[in-house]
Amino acid sequence: MRKSTKFLAAVAFAGLAAAGGSAFTGSGVTNNAGASQFVGGTVSQSVTGATLSSLEYSYADASNTAIHSALLTFADADSDGKAVGIVFTGGNAAAFTCTAIEAVGHTSTCTPVAADETAVTSAAITVS
């Protein structure tokens, strides 16, 4: 293959790559939401003393920013009857209390002592 043909092939490939890259960029997505609006993200979770299968939040507001309760589901009967504690970080540092893990469904429900929790960045769950 001649050098000029290789060069043209490389230029054509670069053009396709540039066109393909622009085809996958999103438009209309911004990162300037208001302070009380949830755009996306994650909550880091750590669990000590049991295996957690799922954690589902219930919210007190339509914008899903104030956690009103948390339903913890554990993997098996090994944790049934044990006490659970949950501490959220971020936001207003509301205290939550949890029920003992139930034998039916291996669940515990955590609710706030006073105010709902807002602006959560992490949840630490302890089973004792």
Kindly report, residue by residue over 27-70, the tens digit of the pLDDT: 444 444 444 444 445 667 888 899 999 999 898 888 888 899 99
Choice among 7-16, 87-96, 115-124 with the minimum mean pLDDT: 7-16
Tell me how far CA of residue 54 lies from CA of 11, 105, 111, in angstroms: 50, 12, 16
Task: Let me know the angle formed at the C-alpha of 121 by 105 and 31, rounded to the nearest 5 degrees.
Answer: 120
pLDDT at residue 79 tops 90: yes
- pTM for the whole structure: 0.66
Give the residue extent of every domain in the chain.
44-127
Region 77-92 average pLDDT: 91
Question: Contact at 8 Å (CB) between 39 and 29?
Answer: no
C-alpha 84/C-alpha 70 separation (Å) is 12
